Amino acid sequence: MFYWSVKSLLVEKWSVLTAACGIALALLLALYLDAVFRGEAGQIVTFIERTPGDVWVLQDGISDLHMARSRLNENAIYAVRQVEGVAGVTRFLYRDSLIGPNGQEKLAYVVGIPSAPEARSAWERATGWTAPTPGHVVLPAPMARAQNLQPGDRVRVGDESFILSGVSRGTYSMANPLIFLDETDARNLFDMGDGANVLLVFARPDTSPSDLAARINREVEKASALAPQALRHNDFNLAMKMGGALIGVLEVMGLAVAGLIVIFTAFVFSSNHQREFAIAKALGAPTKQLAGSALAQTAVVSFLGIVIGALVTYPLEAGLHHWVPGIAVSFSSMTVLVLGTATLGLALLSALLPLRYVLSVDPMLVFQG
Amino acid sequence: MAKEILAAQNLIKHFGSGDALVRAVDGVSLKVNKGDLVLIKGPSGSGKTTLLSMLGGLLKPTSGTVTLLDRELTGRNEGELASMRSSEIGFVFQAYNLLSAISVAENIVFPARLSGQSMEKARERADHLISRLDLSHRRDARPDRLSGGEKQRVAVARALINDPPIILADEPTGNLDSQRGLEVAMLLQEIAKEDGRAVVIVTHDERIEDIADHILWLEDGRLRDRKAEPHEWARDPVCGMRVDRWVATSSVRYDDKEFVFCSERCREKFLTEPNKYLPAT
Ligand SMILES: Nc1ncnc2c1ncn2[C@@H]1O[C@H](COP(=O)(O)OP(=O)(O)OP(=O)(O)O)[C@@H](O)[C@H]1O
Ligand SMILES: [Mg+2]
């Protein structure tokens, strides 16, 4: 029976393939949106991933860089320095600002890179990004391209004007592009005489980063210390959560489309094969086996669709990076797995509808010419 | 005494109800023994297919019983009937009804898969049937590449794969030219005589009559055994044509005698002036 049902599918390989591609497309639709948000979130956290340091210190009560509300005053910074096991700290300015010509401003996060030469070069080595010198700005590559800016062109950030000195890669997201200024310029721009927004703490070799974070949290009242992974995790999830409702709706829509395609295919297939089911019934095929073979057919088509969808995902990711560099997409194997399973489950559920039709086929059809 | 394979007792099948009631089969009793080849004939719509499908456990009778190898079919559930169909009955249809996606060899073993037989044995049997029915050169072909005669031979092989005691065939030669039709008919006879199976054939095909042990004549759902007197010739009193009483569609009782006519026209002529046509006495 199973052999027969699979063979029947092979005979109609084109309609099977069309249906499978439809399912693949529906799956990709849902996956793609998830990938866009994942890609965006990934770009948002690259700064955290690449910037060297063992412990991030933010203002007390803040555990992510979103909206950049963190502010640490000199007392707090001094207190952090005094904690046992701290080898050194680097201060970063990190705040949101408007960028671009009047009337066309975009929101961006401005990072003030430390002016001290050792801190700068350590940061440049670790990140691979060039730090801007005073009077200069570094923009994400897609942003510079979108505004048609060349190095040497003037760029408005807030109320000031800077010269574009270079571009960075991996820091562009549609919601949160990250741009870099020299610390002094950033202080002037934000009117911030002292203090910092973010501290990066280096631990002594004999102190583990997690112990150090715990110690800072205990000893410094106005600071919140986090391991880099924890901060990255918080920011990533926050970014995903902002897209969550939209992703959810599109995923449900994708699944619904996949379900409809399955119902339609299974329905067309079972009505095309009505006579064959009647023959099998007349020859004594038990109802259970007939149901099983109809379900197996649906399962094979859906599985094929899911495999096609999953296989297309990775080349698609590479293609999108190449053709549409402005949109960061990052497909997640976990999402492929979860959505793939959901699609398969839904497909089998949808197959129950035409199944009733298969089971009610009249074996007396075999006597008709 | 010959072994009884199949028996039907007072089988009735009615479709619909009230004014639309159709008495498709109306009180048929019959017996088929081992080695018997029985033909069921009758005009279109007389209930032949309905009868055959009840004999084969495909259709539930309104009342009456069917007994296959001393086991009653009536009253069994769908699952039991399906299992009996797959293992104890071989079906052959006018429309061949092969499964189009699989090869000749796979079609032939299909019922063996359903009856849960050992596939090794089934394949051996299939090989044997393939060479017996002269299908060796076609064993891997798909059904749509076969001629009608080949298709029907595949269907016969499929009917035999589970070694059933009885074969039920509905118009097995209906779609074949006379040469191929004759071959299939001879094959069915061989299956009855050499294998000792009971074979029941519904047919319109005149040529099969010669090989039958019994011919059952079905009319309006009722049976008559016709082998003893295959025809009962009479003359149409109007036009003088020879008419078979068993098949005549128009007749009239007049003067306590039954007159049969070749057509409704002759009957009407007769009724207007009976005396003109009455044979001189
Ligand atoms: N499912 C059904 N519902 C209603 N009436 C039916 C049904 N099946 C058969 N009939 C009627 O029962 C009668 C007998 O039909 P059946 O098919 O058994 O005749 P048949 O002798 O096989 O005819 P033919 O030689 O044309 O194949 C016909 O009047 C037919 O219309
Ligand atoms: Mg018929």
pLDDT digits (tens, 9 = 90+) for B165-179: 999 999 999 888 888
Counted residue by residue, chain B has a size of 281
| Residue B224 CB neighbours (<10 A) | 11
Using a CB-CB distance cutoff of 8 angstroms, which residues of chain B are in contact with residue A289?
Answer: 114
Residue B261's contacts (CB-CB under 8 Å, 6 or more residues apart) are B236, B237, B238, B243, B248, B250, B251, B252, B267, B270
| Residue B101 CB neighbours (<10 A) | 22
Distance B94 CA to ligand 2 centre (A): 9
> Could you give the residue ranges of the DSSP H alpha helices within A273-283?
274-282
**CA atoms of A276 and A282, how far apart (whole Å):** 10
Q: Which of B155, B220, B168, B166 is nearest to B52 (CA)?
A: B168
CB contact under 8 A, A283 and B114: yes
Distance B217 CA to ligand 1 centre (A): 16
CB contact under 8 A, B94 and A369: yes
Residue closest by Cα to atom 26 of ligand 1 = B44
ipTM above 0.90, yes or no: no
Can you tell me the mean pLDDT for A74-103? 90
What is the sign, positive or negative, of the torsion defined by CA atoms of A172, A173, A174, A177? negative
Tens-digit pLDDT profile for residues B92-144: 999 999 999 999 999 999 999 988 888 999 999 999 999 999 999 999 999 99
Asked whether residue A285 carries a pLDDT value surpassing 60, the answer given is yes
Shortest CA distance from B54: residue in chain A: A364
Contact of A173 with A327, CB cutoff 8 Å = no
Instruction: Supply the pTM of this predicted model.
Output: 0.70
Ligand 1: residue of B13, B17, B22, B44 to mutate (most ligand atoms within 8 A of CB) is B22
Contact of A368 with A282, CB cutoff 8 Å = no
Q: Which of A292, A355, A7 is nearest to B114 (CA)?
A: A292
The response to whether residue B281 sits with its C-beta less than 6 Å from ligand 1 reads no
Using a CB-CB distance cutoff of 8 angstroms, which residues of chain B are in contact with residue A296?
Answer: none
Using a CB-CB distance cutoff of 8 angstroms, which residues of chain B are in contact with residue A277?
Answer: none
Strands (E), A103-244: 106-113, 136-140, 154-157, 160-168, 178-182, 198-203, 223-226
Asked whether residue B227 carries a pLDDT value surpassing 60, the answer given is no
Please compute Rg for chain B using Cα positions. 22
CA dihedral A286, A292, A297, A299 (to 10 degrees): 180
- As given in the structure block, the two tokens for residue A150 are 């060349």
Q: For residue B1, what pLDDT band results from cuts at 50, 70 and 90?
A: low
| Residue A136 CB neighbours (<10 A) | 20
DSSP assignments along B115-135, one per residue: TT--HHHHHHHHHHHHHHTT-
Distance B49 CA to ligand 2 centre (A): 4
Cβ contacts below 8 Å, chain A against chain B, sum to: 78
The three-class DSSP label of residue A334 is helix
Residue A74's contacts (CB-CB under 8 Å, 6 or more residues apart) are A194, A195
Strands A178-182 and A136-140: antiparallel
Q: Which helix (H) or strand (E) holds B272?
A: helix B264-272
CA dihedral A318, A319, A323, A327 (to 10 degrees): -50
Ligand 1: residue of B50, B51, B220 to mutate (most ligand atoms within 8 A of CB) is B50
- Check if B144 contacts A (Cβ < 8 Å): no
Asked whether residue A141 carries a pLDDT value surpassing 60, the answer given is yes
**CA atoms of A359 and A363, how far apart (whole Å):** 10
Asked whether residue B50 carries a pLDDT value surpassing 70, the answer given is yes
Contact of A166 with A132, CB cutoff 8 Å = yes
Domains of chain B, each with CATH number or no CATH: 4-225 (3.40.50.300), 233-277 (no CATH)
Contact of B108 with B117, CB cutoff 8 Å = no
CB contact under 8 A, A286 and B82: yes
Mean per-residue pLDDT of chain A: 87
Distance A36 CA to ligand 1 centre (A): 63
- Check if B145 contacts A (Cβ < 8 Å): no
Ligand 1, closest atom to CA B16?
Answer: 4
> Is residue A1 exposed (0-12), middle (13-18) or buried (19+ Cβ within 10 Å)?
middle
Can you tell me the mean pLDDT for B243-261? 81
Can you tell me the mean pLDDT for A133-158? 90
Tens-digit pLDDT profile for residues A310-358: 899 888 888 887 887 667 788 888 888 888 888 888 888 877 877 888 8
| Cross-strand pairs, B191 | none
Can you say how many angstroms the Cα of residue A47 is from the centroid of all Cα atoms in its chain?
Answer: 15
Contact of A185 with A192, CB cutoff 8 Å = no
CB contact under 8 A, A11 and B101: yes
Residue closest by Cα to atom 28 of ligand 1 = B45
